[in-house]
Amino acid sequence: MNKTHATTAVLNDNRPGPNYTVVLQPQTNQFPTKTLEIRPGTQCKIGRQSGAKTAPKPLNGYFDSKVLSRTHAVVWCDQQGVFIRDTKSSNGTFLNGLRLSKEGEESTPFALKTGDYIEFGIDIFSEDNNVLLYQKVACYVAVFNTTLEQLDRSTLQQFNINPDYNNSYQIDPYPPRRSSTSSLSTITYHSVNNKYPASPTSKSKRSKNLDLLVAKLEAELERSQQMEKELKVMAAKMTDLNKTQEVDQVKTSASTNTNEFEGWK
């Protein structure tokens, strides 16, 4: 798994640094694609809609999902890159399958990079496990080290982003400290070694899109391999359980036959 723990993340670093445009791509149609900007010296929240001020929009990170906490996680950037921290959520934040912290505990910062797979919350099923009641927010994230208005049209089309967002986008100032009801939510997907310059050539644009696609495929492959391992472990446990049951049945049958034989004497 691609997990990098950030041990020296600095929040509210006011030194000049890169801006990041973040595209969040949910894996189901229940949640729309979101496009966000993250700026140095600020922090942005991920959370559940709790009112009109936190209504989900294409350019914020709030979700209409009951499995998220109102203030679920926080994301920021500095000179070193982009980082995420779970802020005492109930159902957890998962980075490439790793839960960042226990329930109700704040996590340490983790770096976000290209190919990371983020899950906010968990799926909630009915008591008989047959009906999915509430769905987690599971997504790939893509980060470009440029402002939203500088993204090229091919990238906007790739992620189904309305080009008019470039003209209508109005960022709330993202002050370092804001109330949980007014802070915007964001999630990031950091490009490896700053592959995405602010003004790429046509060739670098194609390379960028290809790198992102490869990263997604690699992440999916890794998740599939992990699931295969878990299924093998479960199958082995079931085999052991069946063997134990067969032995118990043989013992029970032998005991019954012995008792019947004793009765014939």
pLDDT tens-digit map of 187-203? 333 333 333 334 444 44
Give the domains, in start order, of the chain with CATH numbers: 4-203 (2.60.200.20)
pLDDT digit string, tens, across residues 87-123: 999 999 999 999 999 999 999 999 888 778 999 999 9
Are 186 and 46 in contact by the 8 Å Cβ rule? The answer is: yes
pLDDT band for position 71 (50/70/90)?
A: very high
Q: How far apart are the first and last CA of the chain?
A: 67
**pLDDT band (50, 70, 90) for residue 186:** very low
Please state, in angstroms and as integers, the Cα–Cα distance from residue 199 to each residue in 80, 92, 152, 173, 174, following that order: 21, 37, 9, 25, 25
Q: State the pTM of this model.
A: 0.56
Q: How far apart are CA 235 and CA 238, in angstroms?
A: 5
| 157: amino acid identity, one letter | Q
- Helix (H) / strand (E) element for 244: namely helix 202-264
H/E element, 189: none
Torsion angle of C-alpha atoms 155, 158, 160, 165, degrees rounded to 10 = 0
